[in-house]
Amino acid sequence: MPATAPILVTGAAGFIGAAVCERLLQRGESVIGVDNLNSYYDPALKQARLDRLSALPSAAGRFCFQRLSLEDGEAVASLFGSLRPARVVHLAAQAGVRHSLANPALYIQSNLVGFGHILEGCRHGQVEHLVYASSSSVYGGNRQLPYREQQPVNHPVSLYAATKKANELMAHTYSHLYGLPATGLRFFTVYGPWGRPDMAPMLFARAILAGEAIRIFHQGQMQRDFTYIDDISEGVIRCLDKPACADPNFDPYHPDPATAACPHRLFNIGNSDPTPLLTFIAVLETALGRQAVRELLPLQPGDVVATAADTSALRAWVGFAPSTPIELGVERFARWYRDYQRA
């Protein structure tokens, strides 16, 4: 049911953030959207997402956007103090595994310092529940598939992954010290309409339609648990509606990394149907009606060969787990991409 106090969504102009805002608005929530509209990728796409949100009939009088950098601690504190959000969905981050190899300072400032300011805002603002984005990348060098939340995540292979693991530790600490209910969600390769242009589906679609070669790393011998955006946003909101609580069965002598003696939980959100990269490309070729020109390349530093999500814990907690078939999701993405390029 809609809450009377507003919900703060950081990264509101981003791929996942805009989708979450849309669902919250459609069910009658008041939403405060925050984003810094940085130029990591085309700000015009971010602005187009915001324009689309503002044009929703359900947004009238209930969607407030503020351009703000989370690295600015005073601005974040002022936002919490003046608007008093009841719940927070933290999706803002410096994204991109490969980008972190060349620009580590951006990730430290945005993903660590910025997240620290969000935690402080939640603490002092007595926020009822914080849901924050983690990533499947935290599993790093682990090759035991499918990934389960109970597995250790001690071997990150990129700084991006390390910042996401750090976010989980920081949130757990605030839950332990200050009683902040917090839920971390490990997203698995999100795709769909209004997606990020630095990710494979958009890169591949642009190149295929332009008749240019698509760059396929590790000679295509990779698989990803591609997860459709509508499933991701549904999972986020269901978790938001069920605040984390302490696990009464938590055993400090045999600690479970997915739960805690404080109100902190971790969940995978993935499709539980890992797809070989070459299969994904073939499905995209069919949806676009074009064949790709393929350039096979070695594995890139920071990449992992395969991901696969065990979502049994998520299903048990909120009665939902992603399930959109790759063929349906890619067809919807391809239709949107053609329309967007013509706009």
Asked if residue 11 is part of any domain, the answer here is yes
Domain total of the chain: 1
Predicted pLDDT at 95: 82
Q: Which of 156, 146, 186 is nearest to 267 (CA)?
A: 186
Q: What's the per-residue H, E or C state across 169-237?
A: HHHHHHHHHHCCCEEEEEECCEECCCCCCCCHHHHHHHHHHHCCEEEEEHHHCCEECCEEHHHHHHHHH
Q: Which of 148, 253, 133 is nearest to 182 (CA)?
A: 133
Return the exposure string of 216-246: e unless at least 16 CB atoms fall within 10 Å of the residue's CB, then b: bbbebebbbbbbbbbbbbbbbbbbbeebbeb
Q: How confident is the model at residue 304 (pLDDT cuts 50, 70, 90)?
A: confident
- Centroid of chain to Cα 12: 11
Q: 37-46, 239-248, 311-320: which range is least confident on average?
A: 37-46
Instruction: Indicate if the pLDDT at residue 228 is higher than 80.
Output: yes
Instruction: Indicate if the pLDDT at residue 186 is higher than 80.
Output: yes
Instruction: Indicate if the pLDDT at residue 2 is higher than 70.
Output: no
Tell me what the mean pLDDT of segment 145-154 comes to. 95
Domain, as residue range, for 136 = 7-191+228-270+310-323
Token digits of residue 324: 């959109």
Instruction: Indicate if the pLDDT at residue 22 is higher than 90.
Output: yes
Tell me what the mean pLDDT of segment 287-308 comes to. 91
Instruction: Indicate if the pLDDT at residue 343 is higher than 90.
Output: no
Asked if residue 18 is part of any domain, the answer here is yes
C-alpha to C-alpha distance for 170 and 246, rounded to whole angstroms: 16
Q: How confident is the model at residue 1 (pLDDT cuts 50, 70, 90)?
A: very low
Residue 260's domain is classified under what CATH number? 3.40.50.720
Asked if residue 212 is part of any domain, the answer here is no
Asked if residue 60 is part of any domain, the answer here is yes
Q: 3-17, 94-108, 128-142, 190-204: which range is least confident on average?
A: 94-108
Percentage of the chain lying above the pLDDT 70 cut: 99
Q: 85-94, 97-106, 286-295, 305-314: which range is least confident on average?
A: 97-106
Amino acid, res. 338: R
Which listed residue (160, 191, 228, 337) is catalytic? Answer: 160
Sign of the torsion formed by the C-alpha atoms of 176, 181, 187 and 191: negative
Instruction: Indicate if the pLDDT at residue 328 is higher than 90.
Output: yes
C-alpha to C-alpha distance for 219 and 114, rounded to whole angstroms: 37
Say whether 253 is catalytic: no
CB atoms within 10 A of CB 336: 15
C-alpha to C-alpha distance for 79 and 116, rounded to whole angstroms: 15
Instruction: Report the interhelical angle of 200-210 vs 326-342 (nearest 10°).
Output: 60
Predicted pLDDT at 96: 77
**Is residue 76 within 8 Å of residue 70, measured between CB atoms?**
yes
